Amino acid sequence: MTTTPARRILLVTHVGRPEAQQLAADVASRLIASGVGVCAPPDELVGTPLASVPGIEASPVGDATDGPDSSAAGCELVCVLGGDGTILRGAELSRGSDVPLLGVNLGHVGFLAEAEREDLDATVERIVSRDYTVEERMTLEVHAYEDGSPVFTSWALNEVTVEKASRERMLEVTVAIDGRPLSTWGCDGIVMATPTGSTAYAFSAGGPVVWPDVEALLLVPISAHALFARPVVLGPQSRLVVEVLARARGGGVVWCDGRRAVDLPPGARIEVHRSEQPVRLARLSHGGFTDRLVEKFRLPVQGWRGPAGAMMSDTRPDHRT
């Protein structure tokens, strides 16, 4: 008689990389041998090394919405092997479950990842022993309307963007904050980001880096033709509205984390605000966010000799990455 493991991990992997799939199979085998149950999305079990791991199960299908049908339902952790895109997919699969994510970077930058590939063995041991902490990251909720009727509802961990639909035309929008108009821009788009997303698209568009423990929203115009087109940092309770002008000759597209999208006609209205459902990230390290920036962006720090005197025993709260 087969005994169901008391613990269960959802394993999410980059589906287009055979190397990642083989690593996932090795991780699953080690976890199962340690008495930890492992499940994976059904599409990752078809024709992959994971399918041959004895004892692995298919997770519920789930979706990218809030609700009890999350693929991570009943799991204690979502372990993601891949880059930031795969981690964002893991966040979709765990949405609504309150289950934390732990990312192992197999990509390039991997800003959302907690461990690197060379740390994989130690990471598996930390998972087995439950040796990790959990922190919450704010997310965004977005609603799009056409002629006053809702046409799209979703969420984002990094950013919500409203972008032009046609390469040859600018997007014409009016942006409002807390019910008051801020500016009208002809631009390539608007990025509305969380602090977690400040190092993603918003950073590429010229926005500031915001420490993860700062509760704020970012508004970053993309290539706006205006004197006032600087990034704006807003309070976490601010509500943003972007209206695609009815006179605009082309419509736009709203994207959530670059993964979920809907086309917008002229006259569409997009409302963005803080979501009540955060994403929970599992953390293994105690290093500060400064170290993460230096490592991921390869910032030059030669010549730094460290703090002097009493500052060597700095006891300020640790701002985890």
For 32, other C-beta atoms within 10 Å of its C-beta total: 17
Contacts by 57-65, CB closer than 8 A, 24 or more apart: 59/10, 59/93, 62/93, 63/92, 63/95, 64/92, 64/93, 64/95, 64/154, 64/155, 64/259, 64/260, 65/95, 65/96, 65/154
- For CA atoms 152, 113, 110, 87, the dihedral sign is negative
Catalytic choice (69, 84, 121, 257): 84
| Burial tier of 317 (Cβ tally within 10 Å: 0-12, 13-18, 19+) | exposed
- 69 counts as catalytic: no
Task: Give the relative orientation of helices 18-33 and 120-128 as an angle to the nearest 10 degrees.
Answer: 40
CA–CA gap between residue 80 and residue 212 (Å, rounded): 20
What amino acid occupies position 40?
A
Sheet of 189-193, strand order: 232-234, 217-222, 189-193, 159-164, 252-256, 260-264
Identify the bridge partners of residue 145 per DSSP, sorted by sequence position.
150, 269
Q: Which residues have a catalytic role annotated?
A: 84
